[in-house]
Chain A
């Protein structure tokens, strides 16, 4: 019996009288990919930000299994500890690559930043690692000294992924990783993500409104509406046999080409 990597208990976040998310409760096991779907304003990004420590939840606990094996509450832990986590064991892929990249720093510098943040001080090794990672996300070595401003949207997103995965995180948060990309680029990115997730044994929480993304990537699914989880279960089960009226609506809204 394995223990969960992340235990989320009764997380709630309110914006005044409005509900961000309420009574969210789940476990994430090592190697598992959890999808969170819902329409705009359903609280899925709020939830993700609470889990990743960008927002402080008003109630509830988020417990993460540290490398030592103990479970630590990331809501109450000290800020230095949380920031250390977020540049070693955690990764956060933003919807807009611009939010997650340093646009005035070269691709190699972007990938190397996390290495340098955890103490790497050998230029040759940092650069080698950066080039290796660019290769893994299908960016040519010749682009290593170019700035992300010179990259296409899909390349920026792949660069952001490389920059996040370089320190070998165990948990990846993704906020609409394919948003704003055209379909063929999306397909390549999804393919890449699926490969990396399987190869590195990553656990991930993916927030998206795109059901195709979760169908491909997620093992389990939570459907959110108005800040509450209305349905959860195995991805195929939820998508093929939706029980809640809102999930049924969501599944039937997908355009068939």
Chain B
């Protein structure tokens, strides 16, 4: 056991964060300010998500941490270790066995259940930020529901690229009221946000928490003649042959060699275990033999 309080943060801080989470759940999509603490990791590494996870975890929880869909990248490994040491909770890489999932930039491929919580790490919670630099003004725009500016961004995309080129952090409207930044998830994941699990968003440096209760209506913004499209690379996974998952493109050599693999490592591994083999994959059991 460690000398830290359970899950690193002191109880008063966790209560403060829980209040912000409850307020966020009561007003889906609204950015609730909270007194973000300094965490033992730099801003940009998920300080917001970690604080939300710390306030959410109980000793019986099982934690999964993913970074760009993967369980084995630096960010994911260090946050998982952090909670193993400070909260002594069980951890897993399997989506279905986790009760709390902290994520950076992806939603797991497997459908989440009502007894699960998905915690997002958010770098910039304000969807209007790059068009309107003033925080005072953006808050007023949210409160008066003046969201025309968000479409100016999409207009610019079409004018410059012939299509809506925003491919991640694609703005959504929540329950017909607040426009929300879904954190930098690919727009492929946007339709998945109407899910059974609770979704919590934490931005540490910007000191904001927002939330989506289960089954909240989440609509991606678009134009009538340029409707929203959840795009992905037009390939099947080269390891597990999945055609419905979001893919990473991996450069293999300097002669144009590349392969497409699932960004969700757990999804890919479980498919391979079940015997699916992609174009460049090998059978797992033969590997072992």
Residues of A participating in the B interface, judged by any CB pair closer than 8 Å:
79-80, 83, 102, 105-106, 108-109, 112-114, 116-119, 121-124, 126-127, 144-145
Contacts and interface: CB of A to CB of B under 8 A. Distances in A.
Contacts of A124: 225
Interface of B: 131, 144, 146, 148-149, 151-152, 155-156, 158-160, 223-226
Nearest to A117: B148
Contact of B151 (A80, A102, A108, A116): A116
Given A106-B156, A109-B156, A121-B224, 7 more contacts: A106-B159, A108-B155, A116-B152, A116-B155, A119-B148, A123-B225, A145-B160
22 contacts: A80-B144, A83-B144, A102-B131, A105-B131, A105-B152, A105-B156, A106-B156, A106-B160, A113-B152, A114-B148, A116-B151, A117-B146, A117-B149, A118-B148, A121-B151, A121-B223, A123-B224, A123-B225, A123-B226, A126-B155, A127-B159, A145-B160
**Residue picked from A80, A116, A118, most chain B C-beta under 10 Å:** A116
Contact of A122 (B131, B146, B156, B225): B225
Given A117-B146, A117-B149, A109 B225 contact: no
B148 A109 contact: no
A30 B226 CA distance: 40
B148 A123 contact: no
Contacts of B144: 79-80, 83
Contacts of A109: 152, 155-156, 159
B148 A116 contact: yes
A102 B156 CA distance: 12
Given A80-B144, A117-B146, A118-B148, A112 B155 contact: yes
A123 B155 contact: yes
Contacts of A123: 155, 158, 223-226
Contacts of A145: 159-160
Contacts of A83: 144, 146
Nearest to A119: B148
A113 B226 contact: no
B159 A108 contact: yes
Given A106-B159, A108-B159, A122 B224 contact: yes
A250 B223 CA distance: 53
Given A109-B159, A127-B159, A102 B152 contact: yes
A112 B156 CA distance: 10
Contact of B152 (A79, A80, A112): A112
Contacts of B131: 102, 105
A257 B106 CA distance: 70
Contacts of B155: 108-109, 112, 116, 123, 126-127
Contacts of B149: 113, 116-117
Contacts of A113: 148-149, 152
A144 B148 CA distance: 19
Contacts of B158: 123
A119 B145 CA distance: 12
B122 to A, nearest CB: 23
Nearest to B223: A123
A126 B225 CA distance: 11
A122 B224 CA distance: 5
A127 B146 CA distance: 21
A124 B224 CA distance: 9
**Residue picked from B144, B149, B152, most chain A C-beta under 10 Å:** B152
A99 to B, nearest CB: 14
Contacts of A121: 151, 223-224
A33 B144 CA distance: 32
Contacts of B224: 121-123
Contacts of B148: 113-114, 116-119
Contacts of B225: 122-124
